[in-house]
């Protein structure tokens, strides 16, 4: 009965679906005993808290089959369990549906293999993933004497696009969640782009926001995220409107235009008033095909899968449907000592970054070039800006909130909400979320560190953000966060907006040199070296939190205004803020070396080239040195009032 109820809950959609789901849940709860009710609720929120996850359930199913085999397997029992467990996991990655997998597993018993099942359009497979590399030299070392291709890594949403035998299109996210209703315009784009012979297929693609009125400029992930999510009912309604109105339109215009012309006019002119209004346009960048017209293509090399892809879609439609931009390197040129190949790859990476992409993905074309669901292997390697020395930026930020983790991170806090302190408004302004680059051990330490006395019951008035985490934290530690780029965010209120993608690198250590961005820091996963924010009689919590600390990147990102800080010109050091009284801050800029200051003081380049001293902290000596005439004198006076002494 429980299984039937859960199935019924899962298929409820459309108007009144929430009410129907609640009714089914109430019926289940009324039928439960006390302990059953606890596990029912945990099941509904998808967190049993017993360590039961898919990676533990699947091997358990395999073991149950072996132990209860009709053949009575006794010899090499562990080997049989290990082999069947591997086969079950592989089959689940190809067809992640237990309703389809378990009957086949029970029927085949110990003879079950992944080849027993095949992909089914409408059931998303686990996507193949790429390993991290730090640049072209490492890539060439791995792909020595092997043909490979470099593709742009677009900044959008991973999309697995399915065409079912009935002609319908369904879209799934990287996690297997259906997102068809979020991209109603994608359905028409795919249907208009594929050839008539493309009956069924499963594509791997990236959906990217695009400005078709501005030279097909790619837009940020934040713009894509701002698209409104529709419902399945709205898609059905639009389809019905299409059928009814196109028949009426053809009837009225058939005496003037041909049937094909009527269809074109209706789809491109009339339907713009009937379809769901989306302010953000999208382009589909397709880069792989795993299933085509009933044939599973996972074991074919990428070069051959590309041939299938071109047969399914033919020509591109710029701004609507495009193949991922690529560059091929044949085996004879795949040599780490080949300067020409290195230069080609670096140039291709630069082009990708200029085109507003995250980086590139390098894939094997022939050898070990199959599509392996849910695995990272040397067949796919990614090179992103934040992995390459000299192209990445980092900030010092404070965790001010977090959400409860899901899946593997259940029981921990993930992601964390990060913020910087704005001394002008005396607010903590959110910058980004962080959920990658963190070890399991560090998650555990953070769970213990942010205990009840560090969790705030409600959002403090000086926290500025549109985010709503599950809990708020008191400002306790400073983390160094690395990102590939600075973008404007509609959610985060700090001047620099979102760091995308945000990745935790380390916690700043508690040592005398902690304020110098060039000082080597220990790994992020060492909790004993946290830089904690401590409160003294002369300083409030707010004054103890640093504004962002930048590592010197190869370029200076433009910061939105207003901002409490102004960055130095490109090629020089950026600014540093000191946290504690008596801590020395020295400029590492060659133009003005050795500017001492004590307390919470900092030298900052103004927009006109003058340098302003922000004075010493409370109780400190304010040795702010200033240039720029009257403006510098005024700044010096302000520093004197704040810190005690100043030279104008």
Confidence of residue 518 (pLDDT cuts 50, 70, 90): very low
DSSP 3-state of 536: strand
Taking residues 638-644, report their average pLDDT: 35
Provide the CA 89 distance to its chain's centre, in angstroms: 25
Residues 6+ apart with CB under 8 A from 74: none
Q: Which of 478, 371, 356 is nearest to 428 (CA)?
A: 478
Confidence of residue 391 (pLDDT cuts 50, 70, 90): low
Out of 10-14, 75-79, 375-379, the most confident range is 375-379
What does pLDDT average to over the chain?
Answer: 74
| 281-293 residue pLDDT tens | 999 999 999 999 9
H/E stretch holding 17: helix 17-30
Output the pLDDT for position 599.
33
* CA diameter of the chain: 94
Report strand pairing: 321-323 vs 281-292.
parallel
CB-CB neighbours of 197 under 10 Å: 9
Confidence of residue 381 (pLDDT cuts 50, 70, 90): very high
Active site residues: 153
Q: Can you tell me the distance from the alpha carbon of 451 to that of 344, in angstroms, rounded to the nearest whole number?
A: 51
Taking residues 408-437, report their average pLDDT: 88
Q: What backbone phi and psi angles, to 5 degrees, belong to 203?
A: -110, 155
Taking residues 183-210, report their average pLDDT: 95
Is residue 502 within 8 Å of residue 566, measured between CB atoms?
no
pLDDT at 630 over 50: no
Residue reference for tokens 């927009």: 607
H/E stretch holding 378: strand 376-384
Q: What backbone phi and psi angles, to 5 degrees, belong to 19?
A: -65, -40
Weakest mean pLDDT among 59-73, 82-96, 102-116: 59-73
Is residue 431 within 8 Å of residue 418, measured between CB atoms?
yes
Output the pLDDT for position 410.
84
Q: Which of 303, 298, 505, 287 is nearest to 382 (CA)?
A: 287
Is residue 573 within 8 Å of residue 591, measured between CB atoms?
no
Residues 6+ apart with CB under 8 A from 420: 395, 396, 397, 398, 428, 429, 431, 494, 545, 546, 547, 548
| 537-573 residue pLDDT tens | 334 444 444 444 333 333 333 333 333 333 333 332 2
Confidence of residue 5 (pLDDT cuts 50, 70, 90): confident
Output the pLDDT for position 341.
96
Q: Can you tell me the distance from the alpha carbon of 32 to that of 220, in angstroms, rounded to the nearest whole number?
A: 48
**Phi/psi zone of residue 46: left (φ > 0), alpha (ψ -120 to 50 degrees), beta?**
left
Predicted TM-score (pTM) of the model is 0.62
Residue reference for tokens 């005439």: 629
Across the chain, how many H-helices and E-strands are there? 16, 23
Cis-peptide into 387, omega within 30 deg: no
**Phi/psi zone of residue 561: left (φ > 0), alpha (ψ -120 to 50 degrees), beta?**
beta
Weakest mean pLDDT among 411-420, 496-505, 551-560: 551-560
**Phi/psi zone of residue 122: left (φ > 0), alpha (ψ -120 to 50 degrees), beta?**
left
Alpha-helical segments (H) within 471-559: 541-544
Output the pLDDT for position 573.
27
Rounded CA Rg of the chain? 29
Output the pLDDT for position 78.
86
Q: Can you tell me the distance from the alpha carbon of 642 to that of 648, in angstroms, rounded to the nearest whole number?
A: 14
What is the per-residue DSSP string for 109-151?
A: GGG--GGGS---TTSPPPPPEEEE-SSHHHHHHHTTT--EEEE
Is residue 470 within 8 Å of residue 487, measured between CB atoms?
no
Q: What backbone phi and psi angles, to 5 degrees, belong to 456?
A: -95, 140
Domain ranges of the chain: 1-45, 54-116, 131-231+264-387, 394-534
User: Vertex 586, ends 584 and 592: CA angle to 5°?
Assistant: 155
Weakest mean pLDDT among 142-146, 430-434, 493-497, 505-509: 505-509
Q: Rounded to whole angstroms, what are the CA distances from 639 to 155, 614, 617?
A: 44, 6, 9
Q: Which of 311, 463, 496 is nearest to 396 (CA)?
A: 496
The residue that leads in pLDDT, 602 or 427, is 427
Q: How many CA atoms lie within 13 A of 324 on its CB side?
A: 31
Output the pLDDT for position 314.
87
394-534, what's its fold?
Answer: OB fold (Dihydrolipoamide Acetyltransferase, E2P) (2.40.50)
Output the pLDDT for position 283.
97
Tokens of 16: 């009144």
Confidence of residue 13 (pLDDT cuts 50, 70, 90): confident
Class of domain 131-231+264-387: alpha beta
């Amino acid at each position: 009965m429980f299984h039937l109820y859960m199935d019924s809950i899962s298929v409820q959609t459309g108007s009144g679906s929430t009410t129907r789901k609640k009714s089914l849940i109430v019926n289940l709860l009324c039928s439960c005993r006390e302990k059953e009710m606890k596990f029912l609720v945990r099941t509904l929120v998808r967190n049993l808290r017993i360590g039961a996850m898919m990676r533990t359930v699947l091997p358990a199913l395999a073991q149950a089959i072996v132990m209860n085999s009709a053949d009575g397997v006794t010899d090499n029992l562990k080997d049989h369990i290990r082999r069947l467990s591997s086969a079950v996991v592989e089959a689940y990655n190809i067809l992640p549906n237990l309703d389809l997998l378990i009957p086949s597993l029970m029927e085949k018993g110990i003879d079950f293999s992944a080849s027993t099942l095949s992909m089914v359009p409408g059931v998303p497979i686990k996507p193949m993933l790429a390993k991290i590399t730090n640049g072209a030299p490492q890539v060439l070392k791995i792909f020595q004497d092997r043909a490979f291709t470099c593709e742009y890594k677009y900044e959008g949403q991973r999309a697995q696009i399915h065409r079912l035998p009935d002609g319908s299109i369904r879209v799934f996210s990287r996690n297997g969640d259906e997102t068809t209703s979020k991209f109603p315009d994608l359905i028409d784009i795919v249907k208009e782009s594929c050839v008539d012979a493309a009956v069924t297929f499963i594509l791997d693609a990236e959906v990217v926001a695009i400005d078709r009125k501005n030279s097909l400029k790619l837009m940020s992930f934040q713009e894509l995220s701002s698209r409104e999510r529709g419902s399945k009912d709205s898609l059905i309604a639009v389809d019905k409107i299409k059928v009814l109105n196109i028949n009426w339109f053809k009837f009225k215009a058939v005496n003037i235009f041909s049937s094909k012309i009527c269809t074109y006019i209706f789809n491109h002119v009339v339907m713009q008033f009937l379809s769901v209004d989306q302010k953000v346009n999208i382009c589909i960048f397709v880069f792989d095909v795993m299933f085509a017209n009933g044939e599973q293509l996972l074991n074919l090399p990428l070069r051959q899968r590309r041939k299938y892809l071109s047969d399914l879609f033919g020509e591109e439609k710029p701004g609507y449907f495009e193949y991922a931009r690529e560059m091929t390197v044949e085996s004879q040129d795949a040599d780490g000592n080949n300067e020409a190949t290195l230069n080609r790859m670096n140039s291709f990476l630069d082009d990708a970054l200029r085109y507003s992409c995250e980086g590139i993905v390098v894939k094997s074309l022939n050898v070990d070039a199959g599509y392996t669901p849910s695995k990272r292997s040397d067949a796919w390697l990614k090179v992103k800006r934040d992995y390459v020395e000299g192209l990445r930026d980092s900030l010092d930020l404070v965790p001010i909130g977090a959400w409860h983790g899901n899946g593997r991170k259940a029981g921990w806090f993930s992601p964390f909400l990060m913020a910087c302190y704005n001394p002008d408004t005396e607010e903590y302004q959110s910058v980004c979320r962080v959920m990658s680059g963190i070890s399991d051990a560090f998650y555990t330490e953070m769970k213990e560190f942010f205990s009840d006395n560090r969790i705030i019951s409600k959002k403090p008035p000086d926290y500025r953000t549109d985010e709503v985490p599950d809990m708020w934290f008191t400002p306790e530690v400073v983390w160094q966060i690395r990102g590939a780029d600075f973008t404007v965010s509609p959610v985060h209120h700090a001047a620099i907006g979102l760091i995308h993608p945000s990745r935790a690198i380390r916690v700043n250590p508690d040592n005398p040199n902690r304020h110098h961005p060039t000082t080597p820091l220990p790994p992020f996963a060492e909790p004993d070296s946290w830089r904690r924010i401590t409160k003294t009689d002369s300083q409030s919590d707010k004054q103890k939190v640093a504004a962002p600390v930048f590592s010197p990147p190869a370029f200076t990102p433009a910061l939105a205004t207003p901002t409490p800080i102004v960055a130095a010109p490109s090629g020089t050091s950026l600014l540093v803020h000191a946290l504690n009284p008596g801590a020395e801050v020295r400029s590492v800029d060659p133009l003005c070396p050795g500017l001492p200051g004590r307390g919470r003081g900092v030298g900052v380049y103004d927009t006109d080239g003058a340098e302003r001293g922000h004075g010493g902290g409370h109780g400190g000596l304010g040795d702010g040195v200033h240039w720029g005439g009257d403006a510098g004198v005024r700044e010096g006076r302000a520093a004197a009032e704040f810190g005690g002494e100043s030279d104008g």
